[in-house]
A and B are shown apart, each in its own frame.
Chain A
Amino acid sequence: MAKRNLLTRRDFIKAAGIGAVAMGAAPTIFLPRQAHGASKELKILVWSHFVPRFDKEWYDGYVQKWGEANGVKVTVDHINLAEIPSRTAAEVSAGQGHDLIEWIAPPSQFEPSVLDLGDVVKEAEKRYGKQHPLCRGSSYNPNTKKFYSFCPGWTIDPGCYRKSLWEKAGKGSGPETWEDLITYGGKIKKDQGIQLGIGLSQELDSNMAARGLLWSYDSSIQDKKENVVLNNPKTIEAVSYMARLFKESMVPEVFAWTAVSNNQALIAGRASYILNSISAYRSAQQQVPEIAKDIFFTPALKGPRGTRFNSEHVIYCYVVPKYSKNVDSAKKFLLDLVGNYDQAMHKSELYNSPAFFDAPIPSGDRGYPAVKGAKKLIDLHNAWFSDDPFALPGEEKGKLAVLKDAEKWSANLGYPGPANPAEGEVFATFVLPNMMANAARGMKAELAVEQAELLTKTIFAKWRKKGLVGGKS
């Protein structure tokens, strides 16, 4: 019988150990070491913008020109928005990757691994005026007094409604209050067979809609000092309202929606009202112009006591990971980006709004028809929303005018407190849309709120232990 040559346990461990060491050492042996300081470099990771021409026609070109002007070799990588958290986590864990990472939600959980950008904010405010509080609240931790990100812009989240449907129902100017959605939205569903679409699903827009409703009903997840205050009579009132709204004006599709479903429903003529950015309208302009011409906008809807707030739709937050070796270039890039935000606004077809409204418009050819008398970004903001440069021929003028004062009725994630990792986890695990959906599916509002409060308090307590969230309860 032949002797069997089996690996002993000792052999296995030896082989595995040598292998692991070899794998770890391989890159240092076989890859030439990069000479530090030989040339300036900047690697940027950004999301693939919802408005495709923004990346193609502006951002990528702007970045290259900026690089040439500043003697920096810049690389831009675009990824799907859903991949941003996992990609950032992987790069932070590996201790290498991009010098600048753009998030479209507050990346507060990454505070321990990113640089304090307080100096950039200070310099930006010196050059461009005050940063909008909504942007500050999405990038600053008052407990640690650290700017974990830099926010140059944001996106408005208005209501979008089909005027022809609302006219037939007797409210051509569109809804003004949440209650209107039941009164007239219900009537449209009953008489014209078209439902309205406020998501109750495990996705972004449903999360924002739930927050907007809660704020407009004078409630919130946390107070200004980051104490959990979710379980209160006003939340129960808001949740009860959502159950009624679902019954009167919606269909079960809202439980299954993805982030693009409300856009699709509006464009397909299957929704009388949705809560979304103007991207749905812009898509309709290209795909179904007759529907686009019928889409009009409302500011945040008023709650029972007249309060009105919507969540920002997108908040652009750049982080500089601590591993970055190109911090100066990264900071300069951010400051210059604010200085050129007029182009970001225009090339995004007004999807992007500035964080620094008082920033001056640079002189010279800016790549868009000059606006008479406009000196600051706020002037462009007002002029373009009054007379949309991207309106279709024959389209009614001034449709976007209601967005002019959006900064007054828009709030950051975490309002009235700051965005923080606990709010982020409550968002990522869909606590609020599920609270609303539970009630819409028949659960008692009190119980739905109680369950949501339990999950929320657990999450807050955990992050509070890490020192990243304030408050006591």
Chain B
Amino acid sequence: MSGQPVSNLAVDGARGGLLDREGALAKLMIAPAILYIVAMIGVPFVLAVLYSLSDATTGDPSLNFVGLRNFTAALEDPVFRLSLWNTVFFTLASQCIVVLLSRLLATALLKTFRGKWLVRFLIMLPWTAPISLGTIGWLWMLDSIFSPIDWVLRYVGLLGAPDALLGAGTNLYYLGIPGLAISSIILVDVWRILPLATVIQLAGLSSIPKDLLEAAEVDGASPWRRTLMITIPLTLPITSIAFLFGVVFTFTDLVVVYVLTRGGPVHMTQVLSSWTFFKGIEGGDLAQGAAISLFMFPVLAAVAILILRMARRTEVV
């Protein structure tokens, strides 16, 4: 530093003026994020609230105040009630499965074995492909005529023969029978979220001090005991974060239902986001669509608060 010319120092000092002021720098750095949030989330959210209190349509987005009429109309609509239930059910069912499977996968990926990179690659694959593309792939897998799953089942004699275990029909019609359609949606939701949850779980498992586990092993604790007393408690915050992230992604997802079933058969797989789209955009009732979408807000807000609290707790730990 002693060798640096005085004039250069002066210039650096002038340049550094703004950079040295922590308050100004903080505002500068955070401004793009705030702008982004205001433009992309804040404005649409405020618009959604305004629309939901109006009689706006896609063809006439002017705002004439109608009070809570759209909310009461939504609550009286049996399709809305079914969509609400489906949204909650699909989310919880898929995320419980995701937490279990991701824990198993993460535990397996901690071990060293041949072809580990390939397994890791395959697990990450669903996360790297666009959701719509992956779901179109599933649409083909579950097709009522060309399903390759059905082809394999027929080939091994489980389907398509008079005494076949899964019936004499040529296909199982995964998306045409309510129980199978619901299971298919949950399956695809699991497939989509599993990679993220596995990576999060892997990070959690890697952070457990090895000496703690080794000490427990030396003390004679069985693998189950080590899991129950050490691994699960220590990774609970991060597991919860994986769960909550999955909840947010699944609760708000439109693509899986829209591509696979469009909410059918007979609205049995309709969810809030797809019903919002059909009512608000396709049906033209923007106000009703906005009201339906706002029913997602309390749940998402609660989950967001929980995630933030968990994250802070993890930070403290």
Contacts and interface: CB of A to CB of B under 8 A. Distances in A.
B263 interface: yes
Contacts of B144: 252-253, 256-257, 261
Given A109-B59, A256-B261, A268 B146 contact: yes
Given A88-B58, A256-B144, A421-B284, A458 B169 contact: no
A93 to B, nearest CB: 5
B266 A437 contact: yes
Interface residues of A, number: 56
Nearest to B259: A258
A203 B262 contact: yes
Contacts of B26: 5, 7
B161 interface: no
B145 A202 contact: no
A202 B261 contact: yes
B171 A253 contact: yes
Contacts of B15: none
A265 B145 CA distance: 7
B151 interface: no
A465 B55 contact: yes
Interface in B45-73: 55, 57-61, 73
Contact of A256 (B34, B77, B175): B175
B30 interface: yes
Given A5-B23, A7-B27, A424-B284, A92 B61 contact: yes
Contacts of B73: 458, 462
A264 interface: yes
A66 interface: no
B173 A20 contact: no
Contacts of A114: 59
The interface centre, meaning the residue of A88, A203, A251, A429 with most chain B CB atoms within 10 A of its CB, is A429
A333 interface: no
B285 A202 contact: no
Contacts of A429: 79, 278-279, 282-283
A466 B60 contact: yes
A85 B282 contact: yes
Interface in A406-437: 421, 424-425, 428-430, 434, 437
B279 to A, nearest CB: 6
Given A253-B144, A255-B177, A93 B264 contact: no
Given A12-B34, A23-B35, A255 B57 contact: no
B185 interface: no
B48 to A, nearest CB: 13
B34 A425 contact: no
Contacts of A268: 145-146
Contacts of B181: 256
B267 interface: yes
B251 interface: no
A365 to B, nearest CB: 42
Given A19-B34, A256-B144, A466-B60, A251 B262 contact: no
A428 B286 CA distance: 13
Contacts of A253: 144-145, 171, 173, 176
A160 B93 CA distance: 43
A256 B174 contact: yes
A111 interface: yes
A254 interface: yes
B58 A109 contact: yes
Contact of A5 (B22, B55, B174, B176): B22
Interface in B7-39: 22-23, 26-27, 30-31, 34-35, 38-39
A112 B34 CA distance: 36
Nearest to A448: B266
A11 interface: yes
Contact of B284 (A16, A109, A265): A109
Interface string B69-93: 0000100011100000000000000
B134 interface: no
Contact of B59 (A12, A86, A111, A254): A111
A167 to B, nearest CB: 23
Nearest to A438: B266
5 contacts: A202-B262, A255-B266, A256-B174, A261-B144, A428-B278
Interface of B: 22-23, 26-27, 30-31, 34-35, 38-39, 42-43, 55, 57-61, 73, 77-79, 139, 144-146, 169, 171, 173-177, 181, 261-267, 278-279, 281-286, 288
Interface of A: 5, 7, 11-12, 15-16, 19-20, 23, 85-86, 88-89, 92-93, 107, 109-114, 200-203, 251-258, 261, 264-265, 268, 270, 421, 424-425, 428-430, 434, 437-438, 441, 451, 455, 458-459, 462, 465-466
Given A252-B173, A430-B267, 19 more contacts: A7-B27, A20-B35, A20-B38, A85-B281, A85-B282, A86-B281, A109-B59, A110-B58, A113-B59, A114-B59, A201-B262, A253-B173, A256-B174, A257-B176, A258-B139, A268-B146, A428-B284, A458-B77, A462-B73
